Homo-oligomer: A and B are copies of this chain.
Amino acid sequence: MPAHSGRHFLQIPGPTNVPDRILRAIDHPTIDHRGPDFGRLGAKVLDGVKGIFRTASPVVIYPASGTGAWEAALVNTLSPGDRVLMAETGHFASLWRELAARLGLEPEFLPGDWRHGADPAAIEARLAEDREHAIKAVCVVHNETSTGVASRIPEIRAAIDRAGHPALFLVDTISSLGSIDYRHDEWGVDVTVGGSQKGLMLPPGLSFNAVSDKARAAAKSARLPRSYWDWESMIAVNGTGYFPYTPATNLLFGLDAAIDMLMEEGLDNVFARHDRHAEATRRAVRAWGLEVLAADAREYSSSLTAVLVPDGVDADALRGTILERFDMSLGNGLGRLKGKVFRIGHLGSFNDLMLCATLSGVEMGLVTHGVPVERGGVQAAMEYLTGNA
């Protein structure tokens, strides 16, 4: 492989391009996690991260990647054999379901076509049937990273409420947190699962559970064994800014910087930026004559766009061409979408010119790889961007 010049474009839907300010914050000698400087840092990030989740409840921070926070959400609230209702939105929903099954739960999977979000009506119908309240939790992936489809969380909350069902509501926001509007408290979510390496602009290695009072109450009787993931051991110590076991101190330095950056820009501005870049991307896709995987305009993801390639084209070979020729990483098709889509991440620390670069790389890659497309995608995106400041 020839030596590449210039910057790599990491346009997978996470991990995202970590900004220098965060990398430099991490590049600091580790400090004593029992000392006073740490206590100040811990208190600051534990408080600040609540603003990102838009919650007044505790947010537990794990030294773990997002998969760990999935596990934490389940083991704190559920008991062996508990039934959980999960919505098949795509590959990550499927992985969460597998994880639940491995932990000894009984996941029930509402089928989906991987082009739509979780269906509020189907959830309502299933819960209404469940008169015994055998279902203990409803699990939904807010933004399905494998498909670029965002489920409508407030409508699902309303559906649960209409069914009058007491199940806990567990939501994965790993690829939406800090990118797409999300409100833990206002939307009545019980456990929100988050990760560091997407909209939070950090390297992977931290993950989160925002937990409602109802979830904490459920934890008291939940019987899945837990220790590393146990909320109450965390929350008890977090009050003073410390952690019950060694935290990932340097990533917390980065988290502190990330929260500051998001708040300086303003969360609503951050969301509007992501919405705008997503729309520009879809316009480029359509100009190329390609199809966006997400089938319902209400459910378009603002973090990423999954693009269907024409029959006969291997999306992974196309990605290989783009990586080799243009030094840009795109997301691959996962599970049943393998080879059929590529995914463009447009989330995190990002701006108009980085988007234009990204779309240029896709457009030139499609042409170079011989995919039959129209030119003009970047042009269409630029027209949208200039018209929508």
Q: Which residues of chain A have a CB within 8 Å of any CB of chain B?
A: 2-10, 12, 15-20, 23-24, 26-36, 62-68, 71, 80, 98-99, 102-104, 195, 197, 203-205, 224-228, 230, 245-251, 261, 264-266, 269-270, 273, 323, 325-329, 332, 349-354, 356-358, 360-361, 363-364, 367-368, 375-376, 378-379, 382-383, 385-386, 389
Contact = CB atoms under 8 A, between A and B. Distances in A.
A349 to B, nearest CB: 5
A246 B66 contact: yes
Given A10-B30, A62-B64, A367-B382, 7 more contacts: A10-B29, A31-B329, A32-B329, A64-B68, A203-B250, A352-B360, A360-B382
Across the A-B interface, give the 3 residue pairs with the lowest CB-CB distance, nearest first: A356-B360, A6-B351, A205-B248
Given A17-B29, A24-B28, A228-B64, A5 B249 contact: no
B378 A353 contact: no
22 contacts: A3-B264, A4-B351, A5-B265, A7-B17, A12-B34, A16-B30, A63-B64, A63-B68, A64-B228, A67-B246, A103-B226, A195-B246, A326-B352, A326-B353, A352-B360, A353-B357, A356-B357, A356-B360, A356-B364, A356-B378, A364-B385, A376-B379
A227 B386 contact: no
A35 B353 contact: no
Nearest to A36: B323
Given A225-B102, A225-B225, A360-B356, A31 B10 contact: yes
Contacts of A327: 351, 353
Contacts of A230: 102
A23 B18 contact: no
Given A30-B203, A248-B204, A358 B368 contact: no
Counting chain B CB atoms within 10 Å of each CB, which of A99, A270, A349, A382 scores highest?
A382
A74 B265 CA distance: 45
Nearest to A389: B325
B27 A26 contact: yes
A261 B367 CA distance: 30
Contacts of A349: 5-7
Contact of A353 (B224, B247, B352, B360): B360
A389 B62 CA distance: 41
A326 B99 CA distance: 43
Counting chain B CB atoms within 10 Å of each CB, which of A20, A28, A357 scores highest?
A357
Contacts of A15: 30-33, 246, 249
Contacts of A26: 26-27, 250
B361 A356 contact: yes
A63 B249 contact: no
Given A30-B204, A227-B71, A378 B382 contact: yes
Contacts of A326: 351-353
Counting chain B CB atoms within 10 Å of each CB, which of A2, A5, A30, A349 scores highest?
A5
A35 B330 CA distance: 9
Contacts of A2: 265, 269
Nearest to A10: B32
A71 B225 CA distance: 11
Contact of A65 (B10, B23, B245, B265): B245
